[in-house]
Amino acid sequence: MPLPHRSRPFGDLEATVMDLLWSADRPLLVREVLDLLPARPAYTTVMTVMDNLHRKGWLIRERDGRAWRYAPAVSRQAYTARLMNDALATSTDRAGALARFAEQIAEEDAEALARALDEALAQRRNTQRTARRRDAQRRDAATQ
Residues 6+ apart with CB under 8 A from 99: none
SS3 at position 68: strand
**pLDDT for 135 beyond 90:** no
Average pLDDT, the chain: 92
Q: Do 75 and 21 touch, CB atoms closer than 8 A?
A: no
SS3 at position 109: helix
Residues 6+ apart with CB under 8 A from 119: none
Q: What is the pLDDT of residues 79-90, one digit of tens each?
A: 999 899 999 999
**pLDDT for 7 beyond 80:** no
Q: What is the pLDDT of residues 20-65, one digit of tens each?
A: 999 999 999 999 999 999 989 999 999 999 999 999 999 999 999 9
pLDDT (mean) for 100-113:
94
